[in-house]
Every structure is written in structure tokens, then in C-alpha cells.
Amino acid sequence: NACGMAFTKRNGHSLRTSRAASGSGGADVSLGTSSTSNNLITAPIPRRDETLVTLAGKVLTTNFIRQSEESENALLDPPRSVPNPYGWMRDDKRENVEVLDHLKLENEYTTRITEHLSPLREELYEEMKGRMQETDYTTPAPDGNYFYYSRTEEGKSYSIYCRAPRTPENTDIVQNGKIDWDGKPETPILEGEVVYLDKNKLAEGHEYCSVGSISVSPSETKLAYSLDVIGGETYKLFIKDIESGEVTYHDEELEIDSTVVWGGDDSTLFYLKMDDAHRPFQVYKRLLETESEDEMIFEELDDLFWVGMGKSQDLKYLFISTDSSETSEVLYIDLKSPDDAESGLTTTVNMISKRRKKVLYEVEHRDGLFYISTNLDGTPNMRLMTAPVQPNNEDLWQDVLTETGDKLFDGGLTRALSDITPFRDHIVASGREGGLPRVWVLGDIASKNNTTQVNSVVQLEFTENPYDVGLGANYEFNSDVLLVGYDSLVTPTSTIQIPLLEPQNIEKRKILKKKNVLGYDPSLYQSERTWVTSRDGKTEIPVSLVYRKDTLEKNEGNDKQPVPTHLYGYGSYGSNIEADFRMTRLPLLDRGVVYVIAHVRGGGEMGRQWYEEPNGAKYLCKKNTFNDFVDVASWLINDRKITSPEMLSCEGRSAGGLLIGASINQAPELFKVAILGVPFVDVINTMIDSTIPLTACEWEEWGNPNEEKFFDYISSYSPMENVKTGAKYPACLLTGGLHDPRVQYWEPTKFAAALRHGQNQESGPVCLKLEMSAGHFSASDRYKYLKELAFDYAFLLDQLDLGFAKKQKKEFDDEEDA
């Protein structure tokens, strides 16, 4: 969010200079456009096994489910085969020598073809690091008897989690934004500061380190946390005593999901276990003061549903949610009921409302009522409703009303509700309107006879367009202030404290902390929000741009000189790509690149209708995502005339990598270079096979190609099946992680091979960079992350003929002058 406070034998792989197929495959590739070397390097040519196919549909002998029990769609019968010539690259155990050798060759090729960019990579890295205040802290947030925050120190890769007592002196300093810190790592941010978890120590001896949950016990004396040091998103549970620092519990054999939640006191802890497909599906309760076995209190056997859990804002209830993409079910446990440890009774798990097909809902609690955001009755967006705290209350849900008796959030097309955060005297709602994130403060709330009325609604206003805003670390239900994080494409993040009683009073807002971006002058940059008409002639696609003002001066006037432009997109799951500030963009902007975000359909920027059928980009309208992206690219070239195909790059990651793969297949002539980060590009093969993590639960996202209804449609856009033979493709950099459970490593590996096999001799190089010790989210080390980003950007700039390091460029210019 905006705040940053509060996703394998070597046979057949010898290097060759020709190949017996059309396209460039293993064609000679120069070291780069900015290199003066004449050396040529040949890409690896993995073997193609044309006998390998994947069967979709009704197969009599199968070791995995082919469709959900609830599906009413017919399976393909007889089954249809999908060519999978690189299917041998899949190795679930990551042990096959041939596969590992091929990955090594791919990495070696990428290293050699980009080695001339080492000075530029180092320069980019130093620029990004130089913008970062390495020794810093996050905004202290109150919770119980302490203020909680994290620190970073120069040269250390990870955060250090701290707290300080909530004394009157510390309270005055924090709430009035008066922290006076000398910037030294040894100096405490607040008096009485204590380190309760140092992630740098956890990371010692590991190439990767991710802490999932960090949860302080109700007595504030114990800490439960989950730890992954592989990158595969399988976590281990630890409990430590905060005062002594001693780890009091750890079971090396216990593997869990990242989520860990304390019960009503220090004696109870809840955690989630995952099935073989990496799906959280069981909730366990651990009684810490007994020798009893951990108790499974909930289990979800439907492969389409994922389980999650969390406490209500007032800490009275534990909510257990089990959700598919289209259907929800929420259960609750009263954490304030008498302790059942002595009686040995099973914790009572109550159902709020049994799942109803295509009804989504989320629940919070305030003042004896459940507050429910839901699309009940098929509304395009979420309604806000209430219900009494009792099991199976679905027949008692009532809309929250305004003082005029209208529905506050009616689920219509204009305003989209995404989340609510209750406080003692207010409720804060988050959502979207007009393509921008919004925050509403709801006050003067009255409930009578199961009818709730809100008499005051204040939308927080900001002057920039576009901007990004989201809630910060608001831990306390009884708070009378709200912390939000605000930023924009040109404004670094600020933590703003807003009085809930007067949220509209700008003068009473306090900036508690501004992110310090070293050497940054916002007056040199400009952002804008514009709209591009899609090919259907009626859909307006929001587009955000940021650039240096002097860059666009080159594009003004009658001649309209094209400038380098980088187009970014995502467009899946209803997720939003916000117009936020990233200091890591500055090296691109400072080299004259215009950075553009296409808020394409499939995201949620314009509400859930931007995502859902019939006009969004899901199921049988998924191609809208790719069409929108290509339309924006075409607009940049032909209508706005800001750039040209020789100066346009594109990027997307994960499902955004699918976007890029499909877009360069559709219109390879529009782009000079493409970055596909951990790309989901083998859609048809992956979505057939429910043993692959995420597959079954995402049949409600992409459709199930085992079914007649979806097979042909998915086949028509899946990047692996749609590489254009003999076409000129942009230069491509694909990245992946060997331990990635979300997008398996073989997807970018297979697509790299498919691109080389199909494209023509004039195409750009195809490089695969596969991290052998990381997962979906790449480097966990903040310095290594910057180095990986510098690698990506150096490749991009090189292909746009901007690949000289500044020192190299000066030397080259001096030689030219001489």
C-alpha cells in the first residue's frame, strides 16, 4: 500500500551456431548495442521433444482432479492434446541434472551477453542506493503500552523491529511529529527503545530471508513469528520471550503458512497448515501451557478455496475466512469467552453465513454488530451491511444507510468499497472512485433494531492527480486519530495523522514523517493522468505518466521528437497498480525515459467491473487486458506521438508477465525491449494440472482448460502457444526463481526457448536470469534487490541505445570530439 507501513544432463545443450528450424533460436547475438566488441555469443538450444503433450479434458487415468465438484461445464471428451515440447524442463523436486545444467547454461549466456553492462549496472545501483537513506526508521505507531516501529542501518540488509514504552514524553514526541534523531544507528528513536526482532540475525547464513507474521502476545511479553529462508513460502514457527530474547518454542518439522495469530491471551496460538498444492487449508490451535497435541479446529477440503484468518480490530473475535475467487465463507471464534483450556472443550467455531455461489463477503466487528462488505444479490461492487453477532445470520443482513435513508455503499458502478477499519467512534472505509484510491471517514453512527445509519461521511481530499493513499499502522480500536500514507508519482511517501473528529480540517492534519529521498528535487519532474480509448471505441483506459520536465520539452512543438518510453502494466485479480512514488524509477527518468503505467482491465482501478465479466478482463473476456495494453502502446506512438517502436519498452511481473508475453505476441512490432518478471506464460499447461500450486483455485480466474467452455479461448492467448513464427520480436529479459511456488521456474525457461525457436533473425536477444536461491518475490535483501533491479534497467537502457554508463559516455564523447 501507499504507506510502506502497514505478491535439471547436458545432452542436446551444446552451444551451436545454426539450427534446423526457422527463427533465430541459437543465432549469433552481439554483446549489446553499446558494446564496441565484435564478439558473438550463441544462446543455449534446449532439445525439443515433439512427442510430449499435455492432455486436457476427461482422462480416465489421472492423478489429479480435472474440475471442481461445483462446476456445471462439460469436460473435453475426448480429451485434447496440447503440444509441450519443453515439458521435460519441469522438475518438481529441483534435482534433475539435465534441467539444472540447462538453467546454468541460460544464466551463463545471460551473464556473457550482458557483461559489457557491468559499469552501467554499478552506476544504476549506486544511484538508487544513493537516493536511499540507509539508516532510517518507520513511523512509530501506538499499540497497548508501546510504540512499535522498525529501523534500518547502513550496510545491513534487513529491518530491525523495535518498540519503546508509551510514556507521556514519547507520546507527545510521536503525536506532534517532533522526533529529534541525530541519524546515528546507535541512537534510539524513542527513549527506552528495545529491539525485539533483528531480521539481520535471522538471515545469517542464508541467501534468502522472509519473515511472514510478527505478532506480539496479548501480555506484550512474547513474540510469535514465521520464517522462510528458502523462498518457497513455506514457513517455520518460532516463539520467543521478548525480555530475554530466548526462543521458547520451535519445531523444525512443523511447516506452516506465514500467518500466525494469538488467541485471547498468551496461552493460545493459531496457525495455518498447507496441502501438497501449497494451499492453506487447515487451522490449528496450539495451547502453549499444556502438553496436549495441537488441535485442528477447521479444515477446507475444496481445492478452490484458500483459508486465511485474522483478528477483528477490537480484538474480540478471530475470523477464519475460506475464499475462492468468487465465493466466501467466514467463521468466527469469540476470543473473550471463558478460557476452555482447563475444561478441554473444543474451541467453538461459529459460521456467519454458509457459502453461497458467487457471493463474496468480508467481516469486521464494532459495537455488537458485524459489519459486512459483500456483493450480495450480484452488485458490481461491494455493499456495506450489518448483522447481529450470532451464527448463521445471513437472513438478517441489512444495508448501512445515510442520514437520508439511502444506502451508504450500494455496490453500484460509481463507488467501489474495498475495506473497512472500525474504531470506537468511527469507521474508516477504503475504496475507489474515478480511478483513484479513496478514504472515507464515517461518523455519527447510530444503530437501532438492526438498522445502522451513518450521519457523517467525509472523503479525504488531496490536491494531486493522480495520487496514492492508504491506511497506515492503525492498531488501536480506541484511537481518535487516523494514520494514512500518502504519495504520488512525484511526491515521496508521508505519514499523515488525521483527527477522526475533524477529518476535513486540513490545518489539523499533521505530517509525522516524510520519506527522505536524498538529492531529490520534485520541481524537476511532472506527472499526469490521462485516458486512452480502447479499440472497442467506448472503454476509457486510465493511464498515468511521470517524466522529467526537460525530457518532454524535446517532444513538444511541431516536430514532436520521440523520446524513450517505458510502459508498465499488470491487469489481473482485480489488483491495482497505483500511481505511487518509487525512488528506483529516478535513474530511468533522469536518463530521459518517460515512465507510463497502463491501468488496464483485469485490475480494480475502476472498481470490480474493471475486473469482472462481461466488460472487465476475466474468463472469456481476459483478452481485454492485453488489448488495452497494446492500445495504450499504440496511442503513445501514433496519437500522443511521445515515442516510437524503436524507443518503447514494456514490463510486467507475475500475471503482469502474462500481459507482456501476450502483448508482444499480439504486436511485437510495437516494442524494442520487454522485461517479463517471473512471468505466468505457460497458461494452458499450468491450468490443466491441478497438482501445480494455485491451479485449482485459479480456475475461477482464468477458466479451466479441461472444460470445453474455456479450452479454445485460453489457447488463443496463452503466450507459449502463440509465439509468431518468423516474426521480429523485441529483446526480452525473463526472470524467475527456482523455488517460486506461484509461477514455477519452468514457465520463463520454456518461454525463452519458445521465443528463440519462433522468432526471426532480426529479433532482439532473449535472456533468462533465474535465481537459484529465491522464490516469487526475488531478493529479500534490500541491497541485492537494488542490484537485480539495476540488472533489469541496464538491459532495458542498453536496448534503447541508452546503455552507456555516464563515465563511459563522457569518454566516448571525448573520443568522438577528438
**Which residues are annotated as catalytic?**
654, 740, 776
The H or E element containing residue 766 is strand 766-771
The dihedrals phi and psi of 669, each to the nearest 5 degrees, come to: -70, -15
Residue with cell string 494455485: 694
Buried b (16+ CB within 10 A) or exposed e, 14-47: eeeeebeeebbbbbebebbbbbeeeeebbbbbbe
**Whole-angstrom Cα distance, residue 387 to residue 182?**
51
Q: Pairing state of beta strands 648-653 and 565-568?
A: parallel
49 dihedral zone (left: phi>0; alpha: psi -120 to 50; beta): beta
The dihedrals phi and psi of 597, each to the nearest 5 degrees, come to: -110, 120
CA angle 639, 567, 575 (to 5 degrees): 115
| 127 and 797 Cβ atoms separated by less than 8 Å | no
Nine-digit cell at 672? 524494442
Cα–Cα distances in angstroms (integers) from residue 725 to residues 26, 750, 758, in the given order: 15, 16, 4
Strand order, beta sheet including 648-653? 525-533, 540-548, 594-598, 565-568, 648-653, 673-677, 731-737, 766-771
Nine-digit cell at 323? 475464499
In 638-717, DSSP assigns E strands to 648-653, 673-677
**345: number of Cβ within 10 Å:** 9
Cα–Cα distances in angstroms (integers) from residue 367 to residues 62, 263, 413, 423, in the given order: 52, 20, 30, 9
User: What is the rounded (10 degree) CA torsion for 254, 259, 262, 264?
Assistant: -130
85 prior amide bond cis, ω within 30? no
Cβ contacts of 30-38, under 8 Å, gap ≥ 24: 31/112, 31/113, 31/115, 31/116, 32/113, 32/114, 32/116, 32/117, 32/798, 32/803, 33/798, 33/799, 33/801, 33/803, 34/116, 34/117, 34/798, 34/801, 34/803, 34/804, 34/808, 35/116, 37/116
Nine-digit cell at 778? 526475488
| 673 and 796 Cβ atoms separated by less than 8 Å | yes
Q: Pairing state of beta strands 194-198 and 210-216?
A: unpaired
In single-letter form, the type of residue at position 806 comes to: K
